Amino acid sequence: MIDLDGARVGVTGGARGIGKATAAAMAARGAIVTIGDVDLDVATATAGEIGARSHHLDVTDTSSFREFVVANADGGDIDVSVNNAGIQLMGRFVENGLDALHRELAINLGAVVTGTRLVLPHMISRGRGHIVNVSSMAGKVSTPGMATYCASKFGVVALSRAIRAELIGTGVTLTTVMPAATRTDLTSGVTLRLQPTLEPEDVARAIVASTRHGRPEVTVPRWLAPMGLVEQGVPENLLLGAKRLVGGREPGAFDPGQRKAYLDRTTTP
């Protein structure tokens, strides 16, 4: 259990969406929060709004990540590290460029590898600390039209499980949070139809709660937890029909006009 009052907390991708809501919730509980984001202007504005600190962070650059970790520690100890930064491409796999696909993997999975690896040694040496790796229900249930996103989020789940087994007895905990579709820029222009949808604050509450209970995996909402078993146990052809019904669209379909600003911001290095 981590007492957030006075705790040092780092949140990647903290300028907007789930990251912003998480940083705000942590700061409201007395945590010393450092927001890391590639968009420093927005991160600085967010930090000023919620009473946090901001630092430029390109999660695909190890040197940048090291600097963020040092800034977050600020000469002390990092108590909680939230690996939240992520992007989402939509569309059929063959219609997305390789550079964009590789960038999605680098941000969604590679940055979780980097962020976790950089903070763990010190947490282990002091016998205390909590890491939150933000995955998605797309890390439990594959969805046509977002193949690489699913691959990255499945990867976060598997990575976290393996690391968690290595952390037994260290005093360090690691929670994987898997939210359903959340109303942020990431889902702009996408028809969600019958899918369970969340607000960023719903996910933030689950992340904050994990600092108290330290559960290995948390789905948001919790009733979606069995869906991973359904994915593994139901024939693939039946699942595909159900996924199309729930999504209410062709695989990867989205409104280009509504999604343009998001894609311009996230897919250009």
**Residues carrying an active site annotation:** 149
The one-letter code for the residue type at 126 is R
- Could you tell me which of 178, 181, 182, 173 has the C-alpha nearest to residue 217? 178
Phi, psi of 36 (to 5 degrees): -110, 130
Q: Kindly give the residue spans of alpha helices, DSSP state H, lying in 167-235.
A: 200-213, 227-233
Helix (H) or strand (E) holding 254: none
Measuring CA to CA, which residue among 200, 220, 210, 230 is closest to residue 16? 200
CA atoms within 13 A on the CB side of 59: 31
What whole-number distance in Å separates Cα of residue 200 and Cα of residue 163? 27
Q: Cis (ω within 30 of 0) for the bond into 221? A: yes
The packing angle between helices 111-126 and 62-73, to 10°, is: 40
| DSSP 8-state class, residue 16 | S
